[in-house]
Amino acid sequence: DHFCHFTFLHWMIDILMLTGKFFIIIVSCIMAFFLCREESVAPGVESGWGPIIVVGLMSFLTSSVFFSLYESCSVTLLVCYCHDRSVNESLGVYYVPVELEHQLGDYSQMKKLQEQRLLQKKSHQE
């Protein structure tokens, strides 16, 4: 069950990362192209291909580092979600921070969360 969730969401994260990398690289190269054509910004530049290639490589490296950090955070959250579902599946109550309790539409769910929180406090005190 969790394998399907994990595989699907990881696949979505990979697509998002690939799309984001291409978007950043293309926008950076287009901006570099227009800046290289402007004589007041880049005087003496006869061919803009060199700077565009350098900008493309640098934006690829930067976006790769950023999106690898994003992937690590996303996978960590996904693992925590799957663990929470497996641990609390019998109760039907999943972890919700106190700040979000008031936004729950189902008050019976909120009552279950409060009871679960009391049980957790008692178990930690022992």
pLDDT digits 0-9 by tens, 14-56: 898 999 999 999 999 999 999 888 878 878 878 888 999 999 9
What is the pTM assigned to this prediction? Answer: 0.63
Whether the CB-CB separation of 17 and 71 falls below 8 Å is answered with yes
* CA diameter of the chain: 75
- Secondary structure of residue 19 in the 3-state scheme: helix
Write down the domain spans for the chain.
Answer: 2-87, 93-126
Buried b (16+ CB within 10 A) or exposed e, 105-124: eeeeebeebeebeeeeeeee
Whole-number Å distance between alpha carbons of 101 and 94: 12
